[in-house]
Amino acid sequence: MPKVSEAHVEARKEQIVSAAFLCFARKGFHPTTMQDICAEAHLSPGAVYRYFAGKEDIIQSACGEAQAAEYVGLLEEALAEPDTSAMFSGLAAAFFSHFDDDGADVYNRTSLQLWAEMAVNERVRESFSSNPAAVRAGLDAVVREAQRRGDIDSGLESGAVASAIRPLRRLPAPEGDGPHDRHAGLRARGRGAARRHLVDRSALA
Amino acid sequence: MPKVSEAHVEARKEQIVSAAFLCFARKGFHPTTMQDICAEAHLSPGAVYRYFAGKEDIIQSACGEAQAAEYVGLLEEALAEPDTSAMFSGLAAAFFSHFDDDGADVYNRTSLQLWAEMAVNERVRESFSSNPAAVRAGLDAVVREAQRRGDIDSGLESGAVASAIRPLRRLPAPEGDGPHDRHAGLRARGRGAARRHLVDRSALA
DNA sequence: TGATAAAAAAGGAGCGTTCGTTTTCTTTTG
DNA sequence: CAAAAGAAAACGAACGCTCCTTTTTTATCA
């Protein structure tokens, strides 16, 4: 009975995720093809699919690497800091500290892709939902604390910072397509009407 | 002389961009299909392609709406503010103020998609490159000014904030595939080796 | 220990599907 | 009734993924 070492399997997985990670940083999740990943990993499709169920599975694994557990830890440490200045420093450190070596761009870029993907992909969002919650709470706490000390104008709404996280909320599905006057929205608008907002409230249900 | 008014053409374009905008907020740029956009706009593919050369063209137009010109203006106003607290308020306002109504999520989400897309799509990045430059300069200036006044610990590197914009830089293309030892990376790693960084420095050229 | 059989791993062509786009034909309009 | 606009169907390409084959590794036995 032949059996391969479990460490070898784990190493292969990491080889694939590492390749995917680089591809995602270059092109983003969706424009990256499985062939891109296979080429970067110097593996064939058949080999890759031995270790991962599909592309989505690889994305999930890559995101797991991007969102290291220590990230949240750093953030919470910063929040515990009683000095406001140190708090800001800690916050910045939590955001950027693990981007400070040569792998910087790859991690930074893939994290950005993840952030955008979470807004749009329910399964990814669920997998990493704990992180934005911590970030949201952390930002809000820092701003409020700074306001209490008078370092920031109390007129600045603390929730404004937290609203950066807002896009992670879900958006309603497309309408069920009842009777619809196609030109209604058009007629309502004047010629050079100021259209500060492209999307009507009605479109949000 | 069968010709439709120019205003009507402009309105149709806006109808399509508006539909695309909503789709992008729901699914992101790439998972959104042309059929999604057509369905949302209640138009056929042939009709859509009469007004736009292709999907990329629609993305560009939608991004143009997402990145309103007034955004940069607000940012520059904030930077001109001599008072540090007001500066912070202005900065937050520039970031989030035009997300404060019912269209909030749609704009916020699509802006997030754009941010991620810029990191990855050269043409989109070029079209909107002036914006991140202003943001980067603005963030750096604010932090430095706050440090000068002692509101933020001067030990905090001002560039750390600006590094949030770093992912917009380009990443090297995949290697030209010279001779390659497939297992080199595997042998080098120990069993439970601490792999703080998944991607090797060598992978970045 | 060397030869051999069995099992796992990797290769690579190709499957069905779906995408962006084009083409053809019908409807509407000035 | 010309000419523009829109609908509908369909095209070629490219995608994720599977299947079958070949190669490599591991365990068994003389």
CATH class, domain A6-65, is: mainly alpha
- Contact status, residue B173 vs residue B120, Cβ threshold 8 Å: no
Q: Name the residue facing B201 among A102, A161, A169 (closest C-beta).
A: A102
Tell me, what's the pLDDT at A157?
54
Query: What distance in Å separates residue A108's CA from the closest CA in chain B?
Result: 6
Residue B123: pLDDT band with limits 50, 70, 90:
confident
Query: What distance in Å separates residue A103's CA from the closest CA in chain B?
Result: 6
Tell me, what's the pLDDT at B118?
83
Within 7 Å of a protein beta carbon, the nucleotides of strand D are: 2-10, 14-20, 25-28
Residue contact B199–A152, C-beta within 8 A: no
Residue contact A198–B103, C-beta within 8 A: yes
Nearest CA in chain B to A99: B163
Tell me, what's the pLDDT at B73?
57
> CA at A7, C1' at D22: how many angstroms apart?
25
Q: A9 in contact with B at a CB cutoff of 8 Å?
A: no
Tell me, what's the pLDDT at A11?
86
Judge whether residue B85 contacts strand D, using its CB and a 7 Å cut-off: no
Q: What confidence tens digit (pLDDT) does each residue in B148-171 have?
A: 765 555 555 555 444 443 444 444
Residue B45: pLDDT band with limits 50, 70, 90:
very high
In chain B, where the domains are located: 6-65, 68-168
Nearest CA in chain A to B169: A105
> CA at A54, C1' at D25: how many angstroms apart?
26
Direct distance between the N- and C-terminal alpha carbons of chain B, in angstroms, rounded to an integer? 61
Q: Name the residue facing A86 among B12, B27, B153 (closest C-beta).
A: B153
Q: A184 in contact with B at a CB cutoff of 8 Å?
A: no
CB-based contacts of A193: which residues, under 8 Å, 6+ apart? none
Residue B64: pLDDT band with limits 50, 70, 90:
confident
Tell me, what's the pLDDT at B63?
84
Q: B129 in contact with A at a CB cutoff of 8 Å?
A: no
Q: What is the mean pLDDT of each run of 10 residues along chain A (205 residues)?
A: 62 92 92 96 96 95 68 59 62 46 59 82 81 60 65 54 44 45 31 31 27
Bigger pLDDT: B189 or B81? B81
Residue contact A171–B25, C-beta within 8 A: yes
Residue contact A204–B105, C-beta within 8 A: yes
Q: What confidence tens digit (pLDDT) does each residue in A10-41 have?
A: 889 999 999 999 999 889 999 999 999 999 99
Nearest CA in chain B to A113: B116
Nearest CA in chain A to B36: A174
Q: What confidence tens digit (pLDDT) does each residue in B6-18 have?
A: 667 788 999 999 9
Judge whether residue B4 contacts strand D, using its CB and a 7 Å cut-off: yes
Average predicted confidence (pLDDT) for chain B: 65
Judge whether residue A3 contacts strand C, using its CB and a 7 Å cut-off: yes
Query: What distance in Å separates residue B52's CA from the closest CA in chain A?
Result: 18
Three-class secondary structure assignment of chain B: CCCCCHHHHHHHHHHHHHHHHHHHHHHCCCCCCHHHHHHHHCCCHHHHHHHCCCHHHHHHHHHHHHCCHHHHHHHHHHHHCCCHHHHHHHHHHHHHHHHCCCCHHHHHHHHHHHHHHHCCCHHHHHHCCHHHHHHHHHHHHHHHHHHHCCCCCCCCCHHHHHHHHHHHCCCCCCCCCCCCCCCHHHHHCCCCCCCCCCCCHHHHC
